[in-house]
Structure 1
Amino acid sequence: MLIKTRGIVLNYIKYRETSIIARVYTERLGLQTYIVNGVRKAKPPGRIALFQPFTMLDLVAYTARQGGITRLSEFRCSESFSSIPFDMRKSSVVLFLSEVVGRTVLEEEENEPLFNFLHDSILAFDQQQEGFENFALVFLLQLAMYLGFGAETGEEITSQVAFSSSVPGGAGPTGPAALRFREFDKHFDELLRDPASATIPNGRVRRELINVLIRYYQLHIEKLGDIRSLDVLSEVLAESE
């Protein structure tokens, strides 16, 4: 059976000589895995570019009752990016966030609100010319809402992370560490309530906040593991210190 749907590419791996296996979050079927034949051939050129992280596609896909890997009958770009592929800062953010989404959004069923959030957020990020330094933080805070563990205050995040980091039988960080978490509370509160007015001073603090958020995700999602692309993003954020 064939089905038409929009999709957002999360990642792919090489398969045989010229093909790939791509993981795509679709509007109608949730997370799907597809074999895509021939996209790594020299001719026609450029088709593999359609499977870079967060690329948006119109798909005609085969479906199977038992689920599992299927194939694409047709695919084409549905929304062309104007800045993400050409801006290293944005590309690093997209690589990082697509890995997080790929490890946290696993349901093979329709979730229109989540799809719309991903779609609209990515397009807005591509169109932003400035003031997008905090996009990854805001995205992660909002994604947590759709995943069922969103926070209403910064203290909800930092208290859980602090407790998980405390020594057995302890009461959490004290002294300078406690002061640091209170600073994070303030920044997270700003990002939750009015992201456009957030006063995060530099890339070092953004890095620390992202590390806290990833730890928060790890507490709520079993076997999330380490996010490999975080190191790449950290290097980019370091340049804005």
Structure 2
Amino acid sequence: MIRKTSGLVLSSIRYKDTSIIVKIFTRELGLKSYLINGVRSMGKGSKMALYQPLTLLDLVVYNKENSGLQRISEAKLQRAHQRIPFDFSRTSIALFMTEVINRSIYENYQNESLYDFLSESVVFLDQEETVLAHFPLVFLIEKSKYLGFSPEDAEGFILESDKQPFSHEELPLTLNYLQTLVVEKYQCSGKVSGFLRRKLLDHLLDFYAQQMENPSSFKSLTVIRQVME
């Protein structure tokens, strides 16, 4: 069956000499793996740029039930990124986002509200005025709502965790900052030290690991901590 859908590219791996297998989180069909032949061929006709992480696409796909690898009939760029591919900080955050997404959804998982949030987050990341120091924290906080394990309030991110890494002096500052992140989201203008931002990032990742039973470390964590200094 041929279907139209929008999609967010998450990752790709090489397949044979000129092909790739790409994971795309589609709005209507969920997370799918697509085999794309000849895309790595040299020349002007190469469409490899379409399948970079966090690229937003308009797709026409062949959707076969009970089939592991699907096929794409047509792929068009929905929105060209102006800053993400050319700015080290934004590229680093994009890689972090894809790693978090890949760990939290599974093949065929479908959630239109989550898709809409992710696509909006990509647009915010590409905007010049977005404050990048807060971005990974807001992304984790907001994403947990769509995955169903967000606490009822900001304080819950601390109280509902198995770990309590904040000192008596740090806790009021952290709670106040968390509340600001929850309310202001990507427009957050809160001012806290880079040390506290990084500590909160580590805590939120621990919180995710507890909820999703996935304790392994993030490969992009070292780089993303530098962005939050």
For normalisation by structure 1, the TM-score amounts to: 0.85
Secondary structure of 1:117's aligned partner: helix
Task: State the alpha-carbon separation in 1 of the partners of residues 67 and 194 from structure 2.
Answer: 43
Amino acid at match of 1:204: F
Secondary structure of 1:84's aligned partner: coil
Secondary structure of 2:169's aligned partner: helix
2:188 is aligned with 1:192? no
**Stretch moving more, 140-149 or 224-233:** 224-233
Structure 2 partner of 1:223: 214
Task: State the alpha-carbon separation in 2 of the partners of residues 86 and 145 from structure 1.
Answer: 30
Structure 1 partner of 2:20: 20
Task: State the alpha-carbon separation in 2 of the partners of residues 135 and 150 from structure 1.
Answer: 17
Structure 2 unmatched runs, 5+: none
Task: State the alpha-carbon separation in 2 of the partners of residues 44 and 121 from structure 1.
Answer: 31
Amino acid at match of 1:40: R
Secondary structure of 2:73's aligned partner: strand
Structure 2 partner of 1:210: 201
**Stretch moving more, 102-111 or 195-204:** 195-204
2:146 is aligned with 1:155? no
1:222–1:130 CA distance, 2 compared to 1 (3 A):
closer
Structure 2 partner of 1:168: none
Task: State the alpha-carbon separation in 2 of the partners of residues 77 and 97 from structure 1.
Answer: 20
Q: CA deviation at 1:132?
A: 3.4
Mapping of residues 84-163 of structure 1, within 5 Å: 84-106=84-106, 108-161=108-161
For normalisation by structure 2, the TM-score amounts to: 0.90
Q: CA deviation at 1:130?
A: 4.4
1:221–1:133 CA distance, 2 compared to 1 (3 A):
same
| RMSD between aligned residues | 2.1
1:154–1:178 CA distance, 2 compared to 1 (3 A):
farther
Q: CA deviation at 1:46?
A: 5.5
Q: CA deviation at 1:218?
A: 0.5
Structure 1 unmatched runs, 5+: 166-171
Alpha-carbon displacement from aligned partner over 1:13-46 (angstroms, at most 9, x marks no partner): 1111111111110011011111111121112365
Q: Which runs of 4+ in 1 moved over 6 A?
A: none
2:51 is aligned with 1:51? yes
Task: State the alpha-carbon separation in 1 of the partners of residues 195 and 53 from structure 2.
Answer: 25
Q: CA deviation at 1:63?
A: 1.5
Alpha-carbon displacement from aligned partner over 1:106-131 (angstroms, at most 9, x marks no partner): 26254221111111221122123343
Task: State the alpha-carbon separation in 1 of the partners of residues 169 and 152 from structure 2.
Answer: 20
Q: CA deviation at 1:224?
A: 5.6
1:199–1:4 CA distance, 2 compared to 1 (3 A):
same
Task: State the alpha-carbon separation in 2 of the partners of residues 197 and 235 from structure 1.
Answer: 19
2:72 is aligned with 1:72? yes
CA contact (8 A) 1:141 1:151 kept: no
Q: CA deviation at 1:105?
A: 2.1
Alpha-carbon displacement from aligned partner over 1:60-85 (angstroms, at most 9, x marks no partner): 21222214221222212111111111
Q: CA deviation at 1:212?
A: 0.8
Task: State the alpha-carbon separation in 1 of the partners of residues 29 and 69 from structure 2.
Answer: 13
Structure 1 partner of 2:29: 29
